[in-house]
Structures are given as structure tokens and as C-alpha cells.
Amino acid sequence: MIAYILRRLALIVPTFVGITIVVFAITRFVPGGPVERMMLEAQRMRTSQFGGRTGGIGQTGNQPLSADQIAQLKAYYGFDKPVLESYLGWMHRVLSGDLGTSTRYYEPVWDMIRQRIPISLYFGLFSLFLTYGICIPLGIAKAVRHKSGFDNLTSIVVFVAHAIPGWVIGVLLLLLFASTWEIFPLGGLTSDDFADFTLLQQAIDILWHTVLPLVAYVAGSFSVLTFLMKNSLMDNLASDYMRTAMAKGLSFKQAVFRHALQNSLVPIATSFGNNISIVLSGSFLIEKVFNINGMGLLGYEAVMDRDYPVVMGILVISALLFMIGNILSDICVAIVDPRVSFE
């Protein structure tokens, strides 16, 4: 197993380089980068100062910056070099632990990401615990009660939740429980007077702000995992070894929990490691709806503002976590299924 893990770790390097090259090249060719944003802001300042209409950026007579100033901006943001040379310079800084500086907020990218990791980790772990804690027992119950009223009713609920995007559910929850009935807050993670609360009151306040975003997070996650668990268990319930176990005197319940359940967990284990990147990356739209200052909202704002150093910084962390998660998935499968060998 150690040799297999070492081989998988070695494959992380070329995969990481391939991912970052593609995204880095895209950021160099899409319009509306930080240089264009600075030119637009300069034009707006001139418009507000002198009033009247000044026309678009592309009109030479209305250009607020000189050619030398534009060249200095391109040099400052690293857009004056060929793509490959810029990429190698960026990669050298990443390998030395420097993710760059935000072109929007002028702060170190790693500091911005580090401040938001605890928030995304909080929601991610909560969501992961609830999703697996509910979906696996629900999938087992649906499998052993296949085609019953309970199975049909829960299938309808799960499919409806899957059909509605999480951010739409978040908007509906805010409209009903925050705006109309005023049971929960409209957004954020803490109240304005959070610092004046006692420790117990602070914990209750955080949980009070957590309920609605957490429901939006997990509502759409039930369907795939629940039906994966149900279908996998049903396949094993129809296997010959189940009939043999019951013929030897085991009850149906004993046969399920001693034999079928472990084999049914193999498909669940294959996707478990991938949740590591999801736990930290959060959800762009849900964090935007609930104004939660996590990794998802940071990534969303970075993309909308063309803040490429932040985009690339989040990509570096997400890509590494995703590839490490794949290795963990393989290890989980080997633990659950003794037939799997890495030799």
C-alpha cells in the first residue's frame, strides 16, 4: 500500500501543473483583468470630477491613462511578460509559500484565505456530518422497506430537494423564516453585539445564525448519497450469500448488519475523500445569499472582480485537497473492502 500511495502522490505533481497551467492561461486571455479595472476606475473618477460624458475606454481621446501609465500597470500586475514566463514566475512564488497579493484588496492572498478557512470548515464539517448521518440510515431504511409507503414518501421529498438548487432554498428560507416570521437572522454568522455576549450566549448566537445556511447546504446533498446507499444495499440483499446466511439461522436484521451493510458501504467510501475539498471550498452562491464570509464568497468575489491572484490561490488549495482526497478515498475503499489490494 505504501508503494501505491507514493505513486499516487508522485502523480499529484503533473496533475497540479496541468490544472494550474490551464487556469493561469485562461486568466491571461479573458477580458476585464485588473489593468482594465484600474482604467475603468480612473475613467469614473475623471467623470465624477469633471462631469459629463467621457465615452468608453477603447476611445483614444477619452483614455484617462497614458500609454506609459498603462505599461507600468501591466508590469506591476505581471501582464507585460509572455504567458509561460509569467506562469513560471508565479509557480516559483507558490513553491516558496507566496500566493501573491490581491489586486482588489492589496492584501496577501494567503492571509485572506486563512481568515476564511475556519468559517468554511465549520459549515463544511457540519454539512458532512449531517449528510452522512442522515443519508446512510435513510438509505438502509428505504432498502429494507422497498416500495413501501415510507419509501415512496421519502423518495418524493428527496427528489424535490434535489431538484431545487441550494441557493434557491436559501432564498426561500430567508423569505419565510427571516423576513416574514423573523425567527432566524437575515444573514451573517454572528449578531452585531456578539462581543458583549457571554460564552454560552455566543455559542447559541452562532447556532442561531447557522440553522438556515446549514439547511440550504445539505438539502440538495441527500439524493445521490441516499439512493447510492439504497441501491447498493438492495443489490447485496439479493445476493446468494444473504440467502445462505439466513439459511444458517441468522435473522434478516442480523444478515443485513453483519454481511450486507459492509459490502454496501464500498460505493460510499469511494467518494468520501473528495469531500475534503468540498468541506473547505464551501458554496459560492449559498455564502453569497447568507452573507457568510467564507471561502465560497471569497472565490465568488474574486472571480467577479477579476482578482486573479486570489482565484489562483483558491485553485491551488482546492486542487491539492481534491487530489489528496482521491488518495484517501482509495484508502477508505481498502479498509471497507478486504478484497481490494494495492499490490
pLDDT per residue as tens digits for the range 184-235: 888 888 888 888 888 898 899 889 999 998 888 887 777 788 888 889 999 9
At residue 239, does pLDDT exceed 80? yes
Q: Which of 14-28, 55-69, 155-169 has the lowest mean pLDDT?
A: 55-69
* Residues 6+ positions from 51 with CB-CB distance below 8 Å: none
**150 and 142 in contact (C-beta within 8 Å)?**
yes
**166 and 220 in contact (C-beta within 8 Å)?**
yes
Q: What is the pLDDT of residues 5-61, one digit of tens each?
A: 788 788 888 988 998 888 888 888 777 777 777 777 777 777 776 655 555 444 545
**272 and 328 in contact (C-beta within 8 Å)?**
yes
pLDDT band at 330 (very low <50, low <70, confident <90, very high): confident
Q: What is the pLDDT of residue 52?
A: 54
**305 and 37 in contact (C-beta within 8 Å)?**
yes
Backbone φ, ψ for residue 67 (5° rounding): -65, -35
The whole-chain average pLDDT of the chain stands at 82
The cell for 7 is 505513486
The cell for 10 is 508522485
Q: What is the pLDDT of residue 153?
A: 93
pLDDT band at 281 (very low <50, low <70, confident <90, very high): low
Q: What is the pLDDT of residue 138?
A: 92
Distance (Å, whole) CA 309 – CA 109: 7
Q: What is the pLDDT of residue 253?
A: 87
At residue 341, does pLDDT exceed 70? no
